Amino acid sequence: MNNYMERSTVLVEALPYIQKWYGKTIVIKYGGNAMISEELRSAVISDIILLHLVGVRVVMVHGGGPEIGHMLEKVGKQSRFVDGLRYTDEETMDIVQQVLCGKVNKHLVSIINNLGGKAIGLCGLDGALFQAKKLDEKYGLVGKIVKVAPQVVNDALSCGYIPVISTVALGIDNDTAYNINADTAAAELAISLGAEKLILLTDVRGVLRDPKDDSTLIRQIRLEEVPSLLSSGVIGGGMIPKIQCCVNALEHGVHRTHILDGRIPHSILTEMLSHQGIGTMLWE
Ligand SMILES: Nc1ncnc2c1ncn2[C@@H]1O[C@H](COP(=O)(O)OP(=O)(O)O)[C@@H](O)[C@H]1O
Ligand SMILES: CC(=O)N[C@@H](CCC(=O)OP(=O)(O)O)C(=O)O
């Protein structure tokens, strides 16, 4: 098949999906471990711009855990995790805010704008988007989201922007900012926006029966299968909070949640605009 024919075939396949997703809200969480090269970042962002151009209300929530770790190292601080959450003292919180809301957020916004999209960077403090209380003393300044005020995101979407959101929250129990895990914040935002889909982009193919073997990808998981996958230990480590976020989203109105490999170029478009599907889909 020549190049022109290939492209037409892809477009013909994509058209019904473009119609299906028109006007629908999709939250895409872009994890720090999946932002491994400029080339891959551009591929992810091109997908997001394309979806936006065809009328999907795309919202990006980003992480940046590895970047925070590098910056802490530079100032001579070790990252410490408690139950998978970064122990956040005051100095760490300053760095989290600088790295997430400053460096990573503005970098992603710049790439979108340079590739011809229209992005606006926000964090949970803007418009009091994410409001939180201290989760537990043992995590330091890590917050539990108690309220999401999505108006600022809806306004940005209505004005034609792709909102790019970092996950620092407004403290409502004191005047501090809180550090929020980006998967958790993405799920809460998807619920509050009434999103159709939540996509978590990470650095594995999806949920694997054997995490060392890519060929053991589980393509679909029903909500009712999750407890046995957790108790049997198939789902472990960093995948546990991801699955819990997906369950939370599904139980609160989000129709589909996906765990996709952000290292595969155009995994978002393959999932959304083709018959193929990719990664793991969790559904009710
Ligand atoms: N069954 C599983 N399938 C895939 N990954 C798993 C599984 N169990 C544990 N994991 C681990 O979960 C990790 C993904 O979580 P994490 O590192 O927190 O991602 P991110 O930084 O993108 O948020 C994988 O790199 C893998 O080591
Ligand atoms: C409380 C907590 O752990 N917050 C995370 C926020 C960033 C994040 O979640 O980034 P990834 O998605 O790249 O892991 C952190 O400080 O690393």
| pLDDT tens-digit profile, the chain (284 residues) | 456 667 677 778 899 999 999 999 999 999 999 998 999 999 999 999 999 999 999 999 999 999 999 999 999 999 999 998 999 999 999 999 999 999 999 999 999 999 999 999 999 999 999 999 999 999 999 999 999 999 999 999 999 999 999 999 999 998 899 999 999 999 999 999 999 999 999 999 999 999 999 999 999 999 999 999 999 999 988 899 999 999 999 999 999 999 999 999 999 999 999 888 899 999 98
Query: How far is it, in rounded angstroms, from Cα 166 to Cα 36?
Result: 18
In a domain, 16, yes or no: no
- For residue 126, the model assigns a pLDDT of 98
One-letter amino acid for residue 233 of the chain = G
- Whole-number pLDDT of residue 12: 84
Angle at 88 between CA 86 and CA 91, to 5 degrees: 135
**Which are the contacts of 87, defined by CB distance < 8 A and separation ≥ 6?**
80, 81, 138, 139, 140, 142
- For the Cβ of 32 lying below 6 angstroms from any atom of ligand 2, the answer is yes
Number of domains, the chain: 1
Look at residue 275 in the predicted model and tell me its pLDDT.
86
The answer as to whether 148 is a domain residue is: yes
Which atom of ligand 2 lies nearest, measured to the CA of 62? 12
The answer as to whether 1 is a domain residue is: no
| Minimum-distance ligand 2 atom for the alpha carbon of 35 | 13
Distance CA 29, CA 62 (A): 5
Residue 17 located in a structural domain:
no
Please report the pLDDT score of residue 10 as a whole number.
76
E strand or H helix at 144 = strand 143-148
Atom number, ligand 1, closest to the C-alpha of residue 63: 23
Please name the residue whose Cα sits nearest to atom 14 of ligand 1. Answer: 238
pLDDT (0 to 100) of residue 277: 83
Does 179 show up as a binding residue in the annotation?
A: yes
For residue 2, the CA-to-ligand 1 centroid distance in Å is 39
Nearest CA to ligand 1 atom 21: 33
For tokens 């409502």, the residue is 172
> What's 205's DSSP letter?
S
In DSSP terms, 28 is beta-bridged to 60, 199
- Reported ipTM: the value is 0.95
pLDDT of residue 11: 79
Helices (H), the chain: 3-21, 38-53, 65-74, 90-97, 105-114, 151-158, 182-193, 226-231, 239-251, 267-273
Domain range holding 70? 23-283
β-strands 220-222, 280-283 pairing: parallel
Closest C-alpha to ligand 2, atom 13: 32
CA distance 265 to 203: 12
- Residue 130: which CATH number? 3.40.1160.10
Q: Is 65 annotated as a binding residue?
A: yes
Question: Does some domain include residue 74?
Answer: yes
Nearest ligand to residue 259 Cα: 1
The structure tokens 């935002």 sit at 189
> Which ligand 2 atom sits closest to the C-alpha of 29?
12
Residue 124 lies in a domain: yes
| 10 assigned to some structural domain | no
First-to-last alpha carbon distance for the chain, in angstroms, is: 39
Is residue 29 situated within a structural domain? yes
